């Protein structure tokens, strides 16, 4: 059984902070669950161009509001607390947090990440060995 609290992650190497987002990696590849789970904050006003070519991701919004733009179709989805989306086709997308409000979300990745990944120039995480 694995039991953790966010307090155990904050300030460690599993707490990854960038200009647009902070990701607290709660469950990682090394525990053998077949997925990873992250507590992620998209900073107020951030616009992130992402394309997870190597991973599938499901996201559940717990705080804030923003938009998700499907860059293949141009369709924009409004996100608010309680919204969930799944990038089941490795969808190239733009994630926008509203000005003055961050978005906090629970993110699940398959395959799991190792913990120190950041987005590459294409908006993807590299596939770990």
* Domains parsed from the chain with CATH numbers: 6-110 (2.60.120.10)
The rounded distance, in Å, linking the Cα atoms of 117 and 88 is 20
Contact 25, 33 (CB under 8 A): no
Task: Indicate the average pLDDT of the chain.
Answer: 92
Q: Does pLDDT of 90 surpass 70?
A: yes
For residue 88, give the nearest of 57, 125, 48, 127 by alpha carbon: 57
Q: Does pLDDT of 72 surpass 60?
A: yes
Per-residue confidence (pLDDT) for residue 110, from 0 to 100: 95
For the segment 43-72, the average pLDDT, to the nearest whole number, is: 96
Per-residue confidence (pLDDT) for residue 109, from 0 to 100: 95
The rounded distance, in Å, linking the Cα atoms of 9 and 112 is 17
For the segment 53-67, the average pLDDT, to the nearest whole number, is: 96
Residue 114: pLDDT band (50, 70, 90) is confident
């Amino acid at each position: 059984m694995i039991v953790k609290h966010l307090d155990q992650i904050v300030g460690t190497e599993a707490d990854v902070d960038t200009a647009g987002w902070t990701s607290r990696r709660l469950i990682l590849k090394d525990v053998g669950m077949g997925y990873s789970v992250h507590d992620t904050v998209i900073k107020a006003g951030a616009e992130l161009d992402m394309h997870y070519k190597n991973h599938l991701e499901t996201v559940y919004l717990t705080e804030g509001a923003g938009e998700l733009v499907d860059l293949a179709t141009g369709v924009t989805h409004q996100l608010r607390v309680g919204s969930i989306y799944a990038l089941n086709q490795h969808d190239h997308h733009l994630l926008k947090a509203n000005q003055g409000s961050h978005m906090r979300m629970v993110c699940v990745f398959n395959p799991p990440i190792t913990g120190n990944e950041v987005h590459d120039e294409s908006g993807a995480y590299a596939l770990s060995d």
